[in-house]
Amino acid sequence: MSFAELNLHASIQKAISVCGYATPTPIQAEAIPQALSGRDLIASAQTGTGKTAAFIIPALERLAKPGPAGIGPRVLVLTPTRELAAQVADSVARYGRFLRMRYGSIVGGMPYPDQVRLLRQPVDLIVATPGRLIDHLERGRIDLSRVELLVLDEADRMLDMGFTDAVDQIAAATPKKRQTLLFTATMDDPMARLAGRLLKDPSRIAISSPKENHDSIEQRMHLTDNLGHKHKMLHHLLEDPTITQAIIFSATKRDADTLARDLYDRGLSAAALHGDMTQGARTRTLTNLRRGKVRFLVATDVAARGLDINGISHVINFDLPRAAEDYVHRIGRTGRAGATGVAISFVSPADAVYLQRIQRYTGQTVQMHTIPGLEPVSTLPVPGRGGNGAGKGRRPFAAGGQRRQGAGAGKGGAAPKSKAGYQQRGRSQR
Ligand code: AMP
């Protein structure tokens, strides 16, 4: 299929040509005609599939035609994070550059006066994060009665972040006869219920499983004994000259800060990215990363969600995520735009159950690797057998062939032990 077959408005077609896109991606080929027909749509697609254009192009098609009088937005796109909102707004600018229309962002962490000014005049398209939009809605500063198209981007993440009520409240302030497009990487019960409340007779599109999506990424796991062991392995791995740029994921914001500072103190160009930083600091860090001034970004899941940066050669999970979806999102930060990438995960014995979930979700068994001189003394228990991995009845984890190199050297051997033992962290800190 070609873009010409989609019969797009000449100005949009021209903008796409300027972007150099030869053909629509699979999600675009399926979603754009459906969305143009006016139907509601549920699309399962991850970042990197071209999903943003799949909803922005139909949105712009609407805006190319005159709408009713009024000042509120005709198209409203909700995203979970400010970073994703910025990327969506970027796409609006790119694909809408030859159209006459007004758009803007309403996101947290940005000054109110600019947003109030934006909302005082007629605006065609708004990209927003739910929290700040609710703020304006409750103060009567935004009128959503003109919304023709509501898009929920990365809706699964919005639910994870606790925005369910906010999304419902925002949708309730828009006309019932609107069109709704829902994009999500996963479809579970809460998502199905949300879709049931907000969409009418939707068509469904599912594009590529995570497995197919990550063929360009080499995945490795390292079994770790404790926190000190992890640090030693990280320092060793970061000496690899094939790392162009890496994102290192930590479980908590505080760990991200500590780890970034530790690497920086060791003379590496490292910086942290997490949700407690001001918007200005986050933007600066991302600019430095894009310009290559930062080589190692230590990030939390929320902050790194949806980051579209080419040139990330390695992703390192300093802490293994508990949700399989997060694993897939994390490793998807590398191997982008036709490049290959490496994803390395540290797995502690306490992570066995999460590792099992990840391998089940991705349908892939990831090889365990060891670093000479830094071999672990621990073994991975089989989850669900032998008392949840603690103590007796341990058996090596069946999947992945994690057996130590030089088997027999084990038990209390030369592997490093640190004073700081591995600490399991509570969910609330994440
Ligand atoms: P997304 O999944 O929306 O984050 O898009 C991933 C990347 O694909 C972005 O950098 C887009 O600029 C790019 N892209 C989107 N559509 C196409 C297309 N039809 N052909 C080539 N690249 C595209």
Residues 6+ apart with CB under 8 A from 20: none
| 3-class SS of residue 217 | strand
Beta carbon of 79 within 6 Å of any ligand 1 atom: no
**Nearest protein Cα to ligand 1, atom 14:** 50
Pick the last residue of a domain from 161, 180, 207. 207
How far, CA to CA in Å, does 310 sit from each of 41, 247, 290, 334, 420? 29, 12, 8, 8, 36
Tokens encoding 236: 């060793």
Q: Is residue 145 part of a domain?
A: yes
Same-domain check for residues 173 and 224? no
Same-domain check for residues 314 and 396? yes
Strand partners, 221: 345, 368
Q: Tokens 């090889």, residue? A: 367
Q: Which domain does 302 fall in, by range?
A: 213-423
Q: Is residue 27 part of a domain?
A: yes
Same-domain check for residues 198 and 219? no
pTM of the model: 0.58
Beta carbon of 305 within 6 Å of any ligand 1 atom: no
Cα–Cα distance between 4 and 2 in angstroms, integer? Answer: 5
**Nearest protein Cα to ligand 1, atom 20:** 21
The confidence score (pLDDT) of residue 384 equals 56
Same-domain check for residues 343 and 270? yes
Same-domain check for residues 203 and 217? no
The confidence score (pLDDT) of residue 269 equals 95
Q: Is residue 428 part of a domain?
A: no
Beta carbon of 262 within 6 Å of any ligand 1 atom: no
How far, CA to CA in Å, does 423 sit from each of 103, 104, 120, 235? 47, 44, 51, 20
Same-domain check for residues 44 and 179? yes
Beta carbon of 306 within 6 Å of any ligand 1 atom: no
Q: Is residue 298 part of a domain?
A: yes
The confidence score (pLDDT) of residue 264 equals 95
Beta carbon of 334 within 6 Å of any ligand 1 atom: no
Same-domain check for residues 393 and 247? yes
| 3-class SS of residue 108 | coil
Pick the last residue of a domain from 159, 185, 207. 207
Q: What is the CATH number of the domain that holds 380?
A: 3.40.50.300
Atom of ligand 1 minimally distant from the CA of 94: 12
Beta carbon of 21 within 6 Å of any ligand 1 atom: yes
Distance 49 CA to ligand 1 centre (A): 6
Distance 24 CA to ligand 1 centre (A): 9
**Nearest protein Cα to ligand 1, atom 21:** 21
Q: Is residue 232 part of a domain?
A: yes
Distance 47 CA to ligand 1 centre (A): 9
Q: Tokens 């000054």, residue? A: 111
Exposed, middle or buried: residue 373 (CB in 10 Å: 0-12, 13-18, 19+)?
A: exposed
Give the amino acid at 142.
I
Same-domain check for residues 387 and 338? yes
Looking only at the bridges linking them, the beta strands covering 41-44 and 341-347 are: unpaired
How far, CA to CA in Å, does 11 sit from each of 38, 64, 75, 103, 428? 20, 9, 18, 17, 48
| 3-class SS of residue 329 | helix
Q: Is residue 430 part of a domain?
A: no
Q: Is residue 197 part of a domain?
A: yes
Give the amino acid at 10.
A
**Nearest protein Cα to ligand 1, atom 16:** 50
**pLDDT tens per residue, the chain (430 residues)?**
789 999 999 999 999 999 888 889 888 999 999 999 999 999 988 777 789 999 999 999 999 999 999 999 999 999 999 999 999 999 999 999 999 999 999 999 999 999 999 999 999 999 999 999 999 999 999 999 999 999 999 999 999 889 999 999 999 999 999 999 999 987 788 899 999 999 999 999 987 544 445 678 889 999 999 999 999 999 999 999 999 999 999 999 899 999 999 999 999 999 999 888 888 888 899 999 999 999 999 999 876 776 777 788 999 999 999 888 788 888 888 877 667 889 999 999 999 988 988 887 777 788 899 999 999 998 888 765 544 333 333 333 333 333 333 333 333 333 333 333 222 333 333 3
The confidence score (pLDDT) of residue 424 equals 30
- pLDDT tens-digit profile of 370-405? 999 999 998 888 765 544 333 333 333 333 333 333
- pLDDT tens-digit profile of 203-257? 999 875 444 456 788 899 999 999 999 999 999 999 999 999 999 999 998 999 9
Same-domain check for residues 190 and 258? no
CB atoms inside a 10 Å sphere around CB 16: 21
Same-domain check for residues 287 and 401? yes
Atom of ligand 1 minimally distant from the CA of 48: 2
The confidence score (pLDDT) of residue 423 equals 29
| 3-class SS of residue 352 | helix
Distance 213 CA to ligand 1 centre (A): 14
Cα–Cα distance between 330 and 341 in angstroms, integer? Answer: 12
**Nearest protein Cα to ligand 1, atom 23:** 50
Beta carbon of 90 within 6 Å of any ligand 1 atom: no
What DSSP assignment string belongs to 254-307?
HHHHHHHHHHHHTT--EEEE-TTS-HHHHHHHHHHHHTTS-SEEEE-HHHHTT-
Count of the separate structural domains present in the chain:
2
Same-domain check for residues 198 and 273? no
Q: Is residue 429 part of a domain?
A: no
Pick the last residue of a domain from 154, 188, 207. 207
The confidence score (pLDDT) of residue 411 equals 34
Same-domain check for residues 284 and 189? no
